Amino acid sequence: MVQYRSSTERYGDWHSLEAPNSRTTVCRKAHAGCARLVPGLRILGLRVLGFRTFSVYPTLGCFLQMQRSSDRSPFMVDSGRSGVLSKPLPQATDSSYEVIAYQPEFKQQVLELQTQLWSPSLELNRAYFDWKYERNPYLSTPLIYLALHQGKVVGMRGFSGLRWEAGSPPQILTGLYADDMVIDRDHRKRGLMRLIMDAAFKDLALLGCEYVFNLSAGPVTFVSSLSMGWQSPGSMQPMRWRSWRLAGSTGMHRIATHFPALSRRAGRVLTAKLREDARALAATDPIQVRSRLRNNSSISFAVEPRVDDMSALVNRIGSDGRIRHVRDHCYLGWRFQNPLSRYGFLFYQKEGLEGYLVLQEYTSEFADRTALNIVDWEGTSVQALSQLLEAARQAAGHRKLLITWGASFSKDKLELLAKSGFQLIEGEPGTDCHQPALLVRSLTQDLPASEWQFAGRRLVDMAEWDLRMLYSMCG
């Protein structure tokens, strides 16, 4: 049970802010009930695994603002004026552990800890951290919570910015994506995940955040999240297509696992063979892709995005009002710089851009190198969508497993996928055959899930969402 002492004194007006690299102007009108700067959190009294916990967080050194009027309460953090704040934020500690807000002096330890999750490369981890937390278009400072043991970082949960839109005309909600939960191997099964999240939720609520989201939780995080008040509207319904050659190779691998004497050796050989055969997108020959499509002049392949044309096409196609991520120039320009991913772009061109399909593969050694994801797919006609999908199959060839999420696709897209041989991947979130799922949590105390809403749409109803793998850290 978490118990809190009286809240800290609130003072200072909120200032309107604009996050770096964002083209969205922040509304000056603050929420009437929350238009005060929160310089710190209250002291926490936590009981975790029998330990009594008291202490104080170091300051985040940030200003916040909340947007009102036609936009829905976006949440911003700015570290540029930290000198105004004079009171520290609380820490959750016991005799062995403490939870603090991220400070730059811990960056190297964070990168080392994330060799257990992101990649074994410190250089790649640094690039990913800088991209995700230091260059995020919606937050101007990293918003991360760390668990320390004798001054060493042994646990982490990060929150990056995202921006939803829904309704017509669209309303905007700038929120937080919870991700990158990792506990050091020597400190697991000690309640650190809950310790971090209890402190984070209390902090974020006082900072003015209404909801947190997750689209890429693994099975352990998924089950733990449900026990901490998260709700899951449903699975992303992943679908896959694979060539007969790839299906045969993976089938041989599966058979070998039933023979212990052969499984280890066969597994190594087949895995090495699959990785060797799995071409990188950077090595994909655009001319070869076009020739396989019988020299269809409408289709082109590139390894660089056409951000302006793509965002303009999204606006021209419009929205059906469901909740989706904003795909403007600012977001797309940032999104395709993800160092843990490599992207390829198929464009359908007539007089102008009439469709695109984004392919993505992983760069980390921890990830499946044989997977090629369709993370976004747009077209002005069924013909455009169909030819882009066929081009994606040709780009995958015999070497790649083609995966996409079908939960939010239109009837036309689902029919095209079925005709092309895509099949649902069986499994349930949180099981051994884990499927990615949407997770949502309100930070408003005692607000029932039935009232979790944005733009008049229920956040716990999967039918209210238009989700793409691109919006998640799976893509």
* 25, part of any domain: yes
- pLDDT band at residue 293 under the 50/70/90 scheme: low
Interatomic CA distance for residues 324 and 413, integer angstroms = 17
Considering the domain architecture, whether residues 205 and 242 belong to the same structural domain is answered as no
Considering the domain architecture, whether residues 204 and 252 belong to the same structural domain is answered as no
pLDDT at residue 369, rounded to an integer:
80
Residue 38, pLDDT above cutoff 80? no
3 state DSSP class of 242? coil
Query: Which of 407, 424, 441 lies at the terminal end of a domain, its last residue?
Result: 424
Interatomic CA distance for residues 240 and 396, integer angstroms = 12
Query: Which of 209, 229, 262 lies at the terminal end of a domain, its last residue?
Result: 209
Average pLDDT, integer, range 33-55 = 29
Considering the domain architecture, whether residues 243 and 194 belong to the same structural domain is answered as no
* 276, part of any domain: yes
Considering the domain architecture, whether residues 278 and 415 belong to the same structural domain is answered as yes
Interatomic CA distance for residues 442 and 166, integer angstroms = 18
pLDDT at residue 62, rounded to an integer:
31
CA distances from 290 to 210, 284, 450 (A): 47, 11, 49
Ramachandran region, residue 298 (left: φ > 0; alpha: ψ -120 to 50; beta: rest): alpha
Considering the domain architecture, whether residues 136 and 177 belong to the same structural domain is answered as yes
Residue 345, pLDDT above cutoff 90? yes
Cβ-based neighbours of 114, under 8 Å, separated by 6 or more: 125, 128, 129, 156, 180, 182
Burial status of residue 253 (CB atoms within 10 A of its CB: 0-12, 13-18, 19 or more)? middle
What residues make up the domain containing 80? 2-209
Considering the domain architecture, whether residues 82 and 42 belong to the same structural domain is answered as yes
Query: Which of 403, 424, 445 lies at the terminal end of a domain, its last residue?
Result: 424
Considering the domain architecture, whether residues 258 and 395 belong to the same structural domain is answered as yes
Considering the domain architecture, whether residues 163 and 307 belong to the same structural domain is answered as no
Among the ranges given (91-100, 224-233, 350-359, 466-475), the one the predictor scored with the smallest mean pLDDT: 91-100
Residue 420, pLDDT above cutoff 80? yes
Considering the domain architecture, whether residues 257 and 147 belong to the same structural domain is answered as no
* DSSP for 250-290, written as a single string: HHHHHHHTT-HHHHHHHHHHHHHHHHHH---GGG--HHHHH
Considering the domain architecture, whether residues 148 and 249 belong to the same structural domain is answered as no
Average pLDDT, integer, range 454-471 = 97
User: What single DSSP character describes residue 341?
Assistant: E
Could you give the angle at the alpha carbon of 437 between the alpha carbons of 212 and 397, nearest 5°? Answer: 125
pLDDT at residue 11, rounded to an integer:
22
* 227, part of any domain: no
Number of domains in the chain: 2
* 470, part of any domain: no
Phi, psi of 255 (to 5 degrees): -65, -40
* 472, part of any domain: no
Half-sphere exposure of 333 (CA within 13 A, CB side): 10
* 217, part of any domain: no
CATH code assigned at 406? 3.40.630.30
Considering the domain architecture, whether residues 181 and 277 belong to the same structural domain is answered as no
Q: Which of 152, 61, 141, 142 is nearest to 108 (CA)?
A: 152
Ramachandran region, residue 247 (left: φ > 0; alpha: ψ -120 to 50; beta: rest): alpha
pLDDT above 90 covers what percent of the chain? 61
Considering the domain architecture, whether residues 178 and 242 belong to the same structural domain is answered as no
Among the ranges given (46-60, 93-107, 292-306, 415-429), the one the predictor scored with the smallest mean pLDDT: 46-60
Average pLDDT, integer, range 128-146 = 96
Average pLDDT of the chain?
78
Angle subtended by helix axes 411-419 and 382-396, to nearest 10 = 40
Average pLDDT, integer, range 90-113 = 85
